[in-house]
Structure 1
Amino acid sequence: MRRTVLLALLIAGCSKGESKPQPAAKAEAPRAANAKPSAEIPDWAPLDVAAGPPVTPVAWVADAKPTLAVFSASWCPGCTASALADRVLVREHGKHYQIGVALQDESDEAFLKSRYARALSGVPVWSEASVAKLTAACQPRVIPSACLFENDKAVWSGDPSEAGAVIDAHKANGLAQWLANAESAETTARSLAQEALNDPSKIAAVVAATHGRVGWQNSTAWRLVDRDSPSPGAV
């Protein structure tokens, strides 16, 4: 009985509070027509939205410009997530480089039926049969994967996230030095990752060494995860 009375009082109290009239909100002072946004509000870059028609695959034809191919397919989640980056590459470097998406293990018909075809609006897409020469030279083992092709040979292949830096180095005639620096950095990162397998305090150094290198970070992270995962016999 006591619990029932207490519960009734609680309910009554809530109901009473909810029915209490709320004070009217104060009207905001009108903003001047020439008022400027606060300096604390960042000036965000406009969102890159693919508003054009779906892309129809065409045949890749070599020309005088170096080719930057991004091997990709609509059935690959990581590939479709990179559509924005592909459009940025074309917009920033398409004048001096032939840049496009090279389909892998996918027919033109299957690609056209996918959302990826619209997401790549404005990006050249090359049919799989036409990029056989690029595929043979670059030998992509995973997708998405990027490759810079010049003078009938692959001069660089790697993660698409590095393509912009590679093109900048190539423009400045510094690709050889960039590749040497990248190889040295990768050796350091691999060594640190090996040490981190037994010494977790080295993980921060691994993160610093692989900063900005998405492919390295992913492979290193999986190695560290494998270290902490129980073996099948231990489960």
Structure 2
Amino acid sequence: MTERPFDDSVTFEYLYELYHKNLSSVVSGSALEPEASSEASSSPADKQYQRAPQVSLPQPDSATVPTAIQRRASYRESERRPITATELATLLTYTYGEIREADGEPRRPVASGGACYPLELYPIVLDSPDIDAGIYHYNGEAGALEQLAEGDYSDWLEAHWTWITSADTVAAAIVITALPGRSADRYGEMGYLLAAVEAGAVIQNTQLLATELDIGSRPHNGIQYRALREQLRLRSEEYVLSTVVFAGTPPERGD
């Protein structure tokens, strides 16, 4: 895909707008190879204070930890497993739906600075017995899907997601976007950081729920961002942050 030239005549209110203007259209497969990560840094995986006194912690009480947290892992090999309407509804509702109220205002299952909720979710359904294949927008307030395009987008997904092939037997994917202006209106430049943090919580919720439903999942950032923007017809102030792909079942505990 040809890179668009940078237009230095455009002015931006926030730095994150400039960042996305210059964002590469794709994360290459070579950049995601394990060897590339290990060669990029020789520092320890965890930060350590060698001269600081250590206070040993007792063994954690695993009995109080939900099984999904212990089992959460990205799928590596997948077998065909369609996703049902009820399963998708459960994933979306308890990931980012309006599940309760506080002071008369709707609240969602993630912490959101100022309850601004700057994220949007776009499910792409490929294999479901009771939802037509196509691209949708999740309307959390209505608890409904809004169909943006119909048809089988399997080939399109394989073409624009690094490492996704027909062998993955993907049943669905969720594209997570942000409208940082919702938070920036209140928190300024910090609004983008809050949106990114919130996206991380959404990904974790999604994978934990998928594990409980016995659905394999994997976050994917090796994507052609501009292709997604164009396909979803995003407005200029809305940005793709990440995606979660669903295929097969979760790895067995200990894998």
TM-score by length of 1: 0.24
Task: Compare CA radii of gyration and give the structure with the larger one.
Answer: 1
Compare the two structures and name the one with the higher helix fraction: 1
Q: Higher relative CO (CA 8 A, sep ≥ 6), structure 1 or 2?
A: 2
